[in-house]
């Protein structure tokens, strides 16, 4: 994720916490409900931010694996090209030696 998306997620988490605090102030007569609601919303905001971080690391991991696979595929392609070129050279040498024997 880029900086813009990360900032957006943080702003949304802050709005979530602030709205919870406003609700807690409104429900302050029942102390247990107010505290549990506040803790629940703060943990939810943390969970959302944690999930965003995990998704970001997953995207980086996937792109790194893709790059590694492309590099390996390029190496395999070069190796196969070299082997095919050698095999073509061997076949051409064998054909030329056989054609020399036939003309003698």
Greatest alpha-carbon pair distance for the chain in Å reads 112
Q: Give the pLDDT score at 29.
A: 72
Span 46-76, pLDDT tens digits: 888 888 888 889 999 999 999 999 999 999 9
**Cα 71 to Cα 58, 62, 90, distances in angstroms:** 20, 14, 29
Sequence ranges of the domains in the chain: 3-103
| Two tokens, residue 22 | 């406003």
Q: Quick check: pTM over 0.85?
A: no
């Amino acid at each position: 994720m880029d900086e813009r998306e990360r900032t957006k997620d943080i702003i949304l988490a802050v709005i979530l916490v602030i709205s919870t605090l406003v609700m807690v102030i409104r429900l302050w007569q029942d102390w247990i409900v107010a505290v549990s609601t506040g803790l629940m919303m703060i943990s939810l905001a943390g969970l959302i931010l944690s999930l965003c971080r995990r998704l970001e690391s997953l995207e980086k991991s996937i792109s790194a694996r893709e790059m590694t696979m492309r590099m390996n595929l390029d190496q395999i392609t070069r190796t196969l090209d070299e082997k095919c070129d050698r095999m073509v050279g061997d076949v051409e040498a064998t054909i030329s030696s056989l054609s020399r024997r036939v003309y003698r």
